[in-house]
Amino acid sequence: MNSDIDKILFNKEEISKKTQKLANQIDCDYGDEEIVTVGILRGALFFMADLLRILNVKLLTDVMVVSSYDESDIVSSGKVIIQKDVSIDIRNRDVLIVEDIVDTGLTLYHVKQHLLDNGAKSVKICTLLDKPTNRKVEITSDYNGFIIPNNFVVGYGLGYANRYRNLDYIGILKPEVYQSKENES
Ligand code: 5GP
């Protein structure tokens, strides 16, 4: 285990089992419809890749790059910035957002509204993790993997200052890693 990690929450087998369960639900709900999946980068990179590979539903794939954090922060700035929008024409299409984690809910709230404003017929949300304690707006995932406590987690695509994304498990980052950064600034 990486020495900056306090505790592993989910190992790769648990993540893979949960991803398969979510894929089954999504396949079942959409049936023969063609959907547009929109992965939110960078955090959803690994989850999106693994989920899409096992989905049977017909799909078009796009990504958005969205940020609400400064690189070395562990709390959302509250300001959601779309750095890269969807390229596919989503008008009258069923869209499924694929996201790593919902925390305050601000990112998904804005992204969902943005996609609806751009003419999507429907917008559903699939998240791997949900931290319900910090919610600031009312938003719920249609498909959620794990509910987690209010700790800062990394791994399996989730990063801190762009580190740890490559870990094949999800774990709680030791507070001293970001506390030492806070003391530097
Ligand atoms: P929200 O807008 O719901 O507060 O946060 C969504 C975004 O914040 C996620 O896409 C993710 O990038 C980031 N985030 C929230 N909680 C965590 C966490 O525990 N770890 C990491 N690495 N990112 C988080």
Q: What are the boundaries of each domain within the chain?
A: 18-150
Residue 184 has pLDDT above 60, yes or no: no
CATH class of 18-150: alpha beta
**Ligand 1 centroid distance, CA of 32 (Å):** 32
**Ligand 1 centroid distance, CA of 33 (Å):** 30
Nearest-angstrom CA–CA distance, 117 and 110: 10
Residue among 148, 156, 95, 100 nearest 127 (CA): 100
Residue among 75, 73, 95, 70 nearest 85 (CA): 95
Torsion of CA 14, 123, 67, 175, to 10 degrees: -30
ipTM of the complex: 0.97
Residue among 166, 18, 2 nearest 10 (CA): 18
CB distance 121 to 92 below 8 Å:
yes
Closest residue (by CA) to atom 5 of ligand 1?
Answer: 103
**Ligand 1 centroid distance, CA of 20 (Å):** 22
Pocket test for ligand 1, best of 63, 77, 158 (most atoms within 8 A of CB): 158
Quick one: pLDDT band at residue 185, thresholds 50, 70, 90? very low
Residue 183 has pLDDT above 60, yes or no: no
- In tens, the pLDDT along 156-179 reads 999 999 999 999 999 999 999 988
- In tens, the pLDDT along 101-113 reads 999 999 999 999 9
Residue 71 has pLDDT above 90, yes or no: no
Nearest-angstrom CA–CA distance, 72 and 154: 13
